[in-house]
Chains A and B, each alone.
Chain A
Amino acid sequence: MGLFTTRKTVFVESDILIIGGGFGGCGAAYESRYWGRDLKVVVVEKANIERSGAVAQGLYAINCYMGMQWDENQPEDHVRYARNDLMGLVREDLGYDIARHVDSSVHMFEEWGLPIMKDEETGRYKREGKWQIMIHGESYKPIIAEAARKAATKVYNWVMVTHLLMDKTRPNRVAGAVGFSVRDGKFYVFRSKAVIVTAGGASHIFKPHSVGEGMGRTWYAPWSSASAYALPIQVGAKMTQMENRIVLTRFKDGYGPVGAYFLHLKTYTENAYGDNYEATWYDSIKEMVGDYVDKQPVPTCLRNHAFLQEIKAGRGPIRMVTKEAFADPDKETVGWENFLGMTIGQAVVWASQNIDPKETNPELIMSEPYVMGSHATCSGAWASGPEDYAPSDYQWGYNRMMTVDGLFGAGDAIGGTAHKFSSGSFTEGRLAGKAAVRYVNDLGNDQPRVDETEYEDLKTIIYQPLENYKVGRNEIVAGTVSPSYLLPIQGLQRLEKIMDEYVGGTGTNYLTNEPMLTRGLELLSMLKEDLPHLGADSLHQLMRAWELQHRTLASECVTQHTLFREETRWPGYYYRADHPKLDDIDWHCFTLSRYNPESGEWAMEKAPVHHIID
């Protein structure tokens, strides 16, 4: 410890602490301030909220908009859509809640200056698909960040939160968080009455297709380091549906999005021999999942499954037929601007390989798995539902409060609510923000207190990788191989290899079974034992070390959930080879886990799925 006794500690007091300044966090900041005029609302972000989170490079569509003003969709319709896509298992109470509020968020975005495309004839927002509206969203994040900066008492950029702090006066109640500045290395102790976790989901827990320079071109942002999960898991919050990882069918290598291509440009897929293959797999899919194959639109995972089967049958590569659509110059412009607005790397791949979709039908690929809660998947914390209609066993306090008192979440952090995307995550942040204001008001004088020993102990642990490196570096001449420490990238590659080979990554065609998962857990526990020996040569690498800690804990949770659910609920996302069919009798339920922070053990249970929408 001697080296770090002089490291300065910064204490920050707040009423509401928001961890992560992406869409969920910005929504939480706005709403907290609207309802809590005199409260101290603090946002802490490991990067700069101007360009942080999953929407850093922009978006070309808002994928969750009802259009209630034009009677285009009602909230119930969105619940049915998300339920069908997730093979029956979503938190309908939470999903309805987002859907009934999301239009007001989008209308605020437009008022703030987000260019939303309009249909010239009707004056309505231009639809890409039933739920999607088209935007010029290069500055989507800077616009939303401006609103959050106006709302927050203070935004701490470049501070990574590593752990939550618990109240010393009452068990199971949050009291704040700790972290460090990635710029000057100062130690931060945030003391807060309520905490809203709006950090990111998880890329880089499964080995990506590209392991050279291109490993950064993951579908989800490389800075999405599973903090949304690790922070609540560490303090014993219950998690749900963590096995429900997502695999994306995207344009090859750049992972350029296909939504606008399918929905707006009306392009379609074919195998290497020009055949439409999806229908040929209908009977075999029906055999696995029964009537779910007949849902419209066909669930995302089942379309993945057909794609994978066609590749395994030797009829790849699968291509997107773009030549017809791109003959129309307007559609060609949409096709390119769609990438430039949100996945610039795909434009680079095509430019580098001379792929002009007017002349060449581009290849598609299925990605490595990701764990997140806002796209066609719903991993995250088990949260209390809206007070006015949530079933009683889904309701134990304030809306979006986890199973830890005072700990709220939104976006990737909250489980069971698929298809919220950017607008829904922002809306969920708003819901959490308002609920947190109520929680803080109701606390009165019964305020949480942090324990000095707790944060001082964490301070030692947090900076340990710098000390490990400083000491161990003198043992060796030069280079990256040390007998005493692991570099963060080395630990990350071990994690990705374990998850890939044992938990259903691309290396096994997304397949796993009980013996593989059991072995995976053994290897993960050895990785966890090694993590205190990470070595960091800089504050940047110290951030990478803590990102790896968060990813590893989340990965263990994913593996436990995958082991617990003895069925193949989402073929095309992953396969339990020892339970190859969907099993609605035993597994039409949510999986819940709780990590015991003292013992390090996991407890698993089932929770019922209440269908509150017909």
Chain B
Amino acid sequence: MPTFVYMTRCDGCGECVDICPSDIMHIDPVSRRAYNIEPNMCWECYSCVKACPQNAIDCRGYADFAPLGHSVRVRREEEKGTISWKIKFRDGREKNFVSPIRTTPWGSIKSPSDYEAPSPDALKTQELAHEPEALHVEALPALPPRKD
């Protein structure tokens, strides 16, 4: 479903422009609001819909196979750690779903530099960062060296 933007809700902030992986959300120079410049390169990933602070972006199913009258709306709330969906069928039936998106505070991941530096000898081993502990087994598995 390619995205479209409601004229009365968009304030031209550009959040969608900065997140669209396909680079197809652009600001219209006349209206100073965002729009989808290339609907046939839209993956319907909803990255822009989720990012829009004004809830100004929606999707209309691809014209070549989706009959009108449906909607799939989303609200992603980082502070609550949830994503909520409302699916509306062409015939009016509705389904609602809520899922968690993250179990830790945003920004809380440690840089690898925050861990103790590995010894120079460890660089020559096959172990990766935090191994073997992070494997939750005693040692990194290995195969016997080839004799050829």
Contact = CB atoms under 8 A, between A and B. Distances in A.
Given A112-B109, A114-B103, A356 B93 contact: yes
B33 interface: no
A139 interface: yes
A390 B90 contact: no
Contact of A353 (B43, B66, B97): B66
Given A107-B136, A216-B41, A101 B128 contact: yes
Contacts of A129: none
Given A37-B117, A223-B21, A348-B61, A69 B137 contact: yes
Interface in B63-86: 63-72, 74, 76, 83, 85
A52 interface: yes
B65 A214 contact: yes
B7 interface: no
B117 A113 contact: no
Contact of B118 (A34, A215, A352): A34
A87 interface: no
A365 B63 CA distance: 19
A349 B61 contact: yes
Interface in A349-406: 349-354, 356, 386-392
Interface residues of A: mostly helix, strand, loop or mixed?
Answer: helix
A609 interface: no
Contact of B135 (A68, A114, A351): A68
Given A348-B1, A391-B148, A217 B69 contact: no
Contacts of A352: 61, 66-70, 89-90
B27 interface: no
Contact of B101 (A115, A213, A223): A115
Contacts of B12: none
A386 B126 contact: yes
Contacts, number: 260
A86 B116 CA distance: 41
A344 B71 CA distance: 11
Contacts of A182: 23
B136 A69 contact: yes
Given A47-B21, A336-B97, A150 B109 contact: yes
B45 A349 contact: no
Contacts of A350: 89
A113 B65 CA distance: 37
Interface in B128-148: 128-131, 134-137, 140-146, 148
Given A221-B45, A223-B43, 17 more contacts: A50-B19, A68-B135, A100-B141, A108-B130, A113-B109, A158-B23, A216-B42, A221-B21, A340-B97, A347-B87, A350-B89, A352-B69, A352-B90, A354-B89, A392-B148, A434-B129, A540-B23
Interface of A: 30-31, 33-35, 37, 46-48, 50-53, 56-57, 68-69, 74-75, 96, 100-101, 103-104, 107-108, 112-115, 136, 138-139, 143, 146-147, 150-151, 158, 182, 210-218, 221-223, 253, 333, 336-337, 340-341, 344-345, 347-354, 356, 386-392, 427, 430-431, 434, 437-438, 441, 540, 543, 612-613
